[in-house]
Chains A and B, each alone.
Chain A
Amino acid sequence: MKYTDRQLLDRLAAQYVVGTLRGRARSRFERICVGNEYAMAAVKRWEDRFVGMLAQVKPVQPPQQVWSAIEQRLGLADTASQGFVAKLFGFIGTRAGAGVFAALAVVTIAVGMLVQQSLRLEPVAVIAQEARGELWRVQASRNAKALVVEATASVTVDATHSYELWALPSSGAAPVSLGLLPTRGSAKLTLTEAQRLALSGSAKVAVSLEPVGGSPTGAPTGPVLHVADVTKSS
């Protein structure tokens, strides 16, 4: 069989989506799709054509244990109900917490003053896309009170949107906004204590597309465009 034949690919895609392509033929077609944009697009087209038929199938409420099992499998059980920031403020709210927080604040301010003199920058993340290369280089001042973000020439300027940077806490808590990214040149994003803590507890950052001025809700509202690893400083 010649899989370069578009008509054949389209017929296979239709049988695949309708479900009559089974067994080894099904697995073979799935493998073809991986490297074949035309086949993948044909599958999407047939899926979009047919999905309306499923709206007529009567919805059935699944039993509660299904959700519990999903939470367990994904390790979300604790983080879903209480965000990282909420937990942090809960801790600060206690008397011991307030003491620790005050002490921490003094220490970080002292360290901050020392380091500010040298103003060295440390890499935080490089946001890149395979097709377009590096887009933004994110660095932090040594005291992590501010991020310095530099946009490369590959960033697309979009007058109707802003690019927003998010810390993704490893705890699974909700993303924390770190500010808006520049589309040209570089910008300094001053971090609050909460943002700094969120970033230090994150292994990844993400960029979402938001209305001009950033997300109106405090959570990402637009599509997520990029996710990048946070460089661990020594």
Chain B
Amino acid sequence: MNAAIQNPLGGVTRAATDTDIEALLGRCALRDAKALKELYGLVSSQLFGVLLRLLRSRALAEEALQDVIVRVWQRAGQFEAYRGRGMAWMMSIARNRAIDLLRTQRQTVSIDDSDAFEIADESGRDELEMSATDKMKTALGQCLGGLSQQQRECITLAYVNGYSHDEIARSVGSPLGTVKSWVRRGLVSLKKCLES
């Protein structure tokens, strides 16, 4: 089952499936350190890519990745939390850690004059392009395609780039109240579409 998983430090050789991830998490719960290393080899690049995008700083993303893997090891015994959804579970740990770090960082750094912000903005545009091309492939893609362009852009900036309402407003150049309602209504429409 794990034959295709190669040297953990040699990079991702294929897409990680939830079944692989769940089996490795189960072994982590048994304090099998080799399983953690295999798991790291399988998912660290994806997690690191997402953390970089959210945190816009290599140093912070490296720190966050450490925290995430330590937490995964500590919580591997919570089988109910990740059964059938290993990647979603790890990504949620990663996103929550990043949002926590963003909060503490904002208290010390002013984001208005951050160069990193502009860089992230640019890569955010690529993302929107990509999600548009992905539109037909998945239910989520299709439902996102059904939102207004503003709703889709706001939700993507929030989820993929980790922008707060304020940051989205600044990025798209619209008033805060308008942005909040785009996000809110977009989520309501998404839910309706995904449940239909």
Residue of A at shortest CB range from B76? Answer: A224
CB distance from A138 to the nearest CB of B (A): 16
Report how many residues on chain A are interfacial, defined by Cβ distance under 8 Å. Answer: 61
| Cα of A59 to Cα of B49 in the assembled complex, Å | 5
Within 8 A of A (CB), among B146-193: 155-156, 158-160, 162-165, 168, 180, 183-184, 187-188, 190-191
**Which of A14, A49, A70, A219 has the most chain B CB atoms closer than 10 A to its own CB?**
A70
Q: Per a CB cutoff under 8 Å, which of B11, B26, B183 touches A18?
A: B183
Report how many residues on chain B are interfacial, defined by Cβ distance under 8 Å. Answer: 72
Task: Point out the residues of chain B lying under 8 angstroms from A51, CB to CB.
Answer: 87-88, 91-92
| Cα of A67 to Cα of B69 in the assembled complex, Å | 9
Q: Are B191 and A14 in contact (CB under 8 A)?
A: yes
| Cα of A173 to Cα of B31 in the assembled complex, Å | 8
**Which of A26, A57, A174, A225 has the most chain B CB atoms closer than 10 A to its own CB?**
A57
CB distance from A204 to the nearest CB of B (A): 8
Q: Are B190 and A224 in contact (CB under 8 A)?
A: no
Known: A47-B92, A172-B31, A206-B30. A62 touches B140 (CB 8 A): no
Q: Are B62 and A62 in contact (CB under 8 A)?
A: yes
| Cα of A43 to Cα of B88 in the assembled complex, Å | 11
Task: Point out the residues of chain B lying under 8 angstroms from A66, CB to CB.
Answer: 44, 48, 62, 65-66
Q: Are B27 and A219 in contact (CB under 8 A)?
A: yes
Task: Point out the residues of chain B lying under 8 angstroms from A14, CB to CB.
Answer: 187, 191
Task: Point out the residues of chain B lying under 8 angstroms from A69, CB to CB.
Answer: 66
* A221 located at the interface, meaning its Cβ lies under 8 Å from any Cβ of chain B in the complex: yes
Q: Per a CB cutoff under 8 Å, which of A61, A172, A173, A206 touches B48?
A: A61
| Cα of A83 to Cα of B30 in the assembled complex, Å | 14
Task: Point out the residues of chain B lying under 8 angstroms from A57, CB to CB.
Answer: 46, 49-50, 53, 127, 160
* B136 located at the interface, meaning its Cβ lies under 8 Å from any Cβ of chain A in the complex: no
Task: Point out the residues of chain A lying under 8 angstroms from B70, CB to CB.
Answer: 70, 73-74
Chain A facing B: main interface SS: mixed
Q: Are B45 and A76 in contact (CB under 8 A)?
A: no
Task: Point out the residues of chain B lying under 8 angstroms from A74, CB to CB.
Answer: 33, 36, 70, 73
Q: Are B65 and A47 in contact (CB under 8 A)?
A: no
Q: Are A19 and B46 in contact (CB under 8 A)?
A: no
Known: A59-B48, A62-B44, A70-B40. A11 touches B187 (CB 8 A): yes
| Cα of A153 to Cα of B18 in the assembled complex, Å | 33
Q: Per a CB cutoff under 8 Å, which of B11, B33, B190 touches A49?
A: B190
Q: Are A175 and B32 in contact (CB under 8 A)?
A: yes
* A190 located at the interface, meaning its Cβ lies under 8 Å from any Cβ of chain B in the complex: no
Residue of A at shortest CB range from B84? Answer: A48
Within 8 A of B (CB), among A13-50: 14-15, 17-20, 22-23, 26, 43-44, 47-50
Q: Are B29 and A206 in contact (CB under 8 A)?
A: yes
Task: Point out the residues of chain A lying under 8 angstroms from B131, CB to CB.
Answer: 53, 56
CB distance from A53 to the nearest CB of B (A): 6
* A54 located at the interface, meaning its Cβ lies under 8 Å from any Cβ of chain B in the complex: yes
* A134 located at the interface, meaning its Cβ lies under 8 Å from any Cβ of chain B in the complex: no
Q: Are B88 and A56 in contact (CB under 8 A)?
A: no
Residue of A at shortest CB range from B137? Answer: A52
Task: Point out the residues of chain A lying under 8 angstroms from B158, CB to CB.
Answer: 18-20
Task: Point out the residues of chain A lying under 8 angstroms from B130, CB to CB.
Answer: 56
Q: Are B29 and A64 in contact (CB under 8 A)?
A: no
A-B contact pairs, 22 of them (CB 8 A): A11-B188, A15-B184, A15-B187, A18-B183, A19-B95, A19-B158, A22-B164, A49-B140, A52-B138, A53-B160, A56-B134, A57-B46, A57-B49, A59-B49, A66-B65, A73-B66, A79-B33, A172-B33, A174-B32, A175-B30, A175-B31, A220-B27
Can you name 11 extra interface pairs (CB under 8 A) apart from A60-B45, A73-B66?
A15-B187, A26-B99, A44-B85, A51-B88, A53-B140, A53-B159, A56-B131, A57-B46, A67-B8, A219-B27, A221-B1
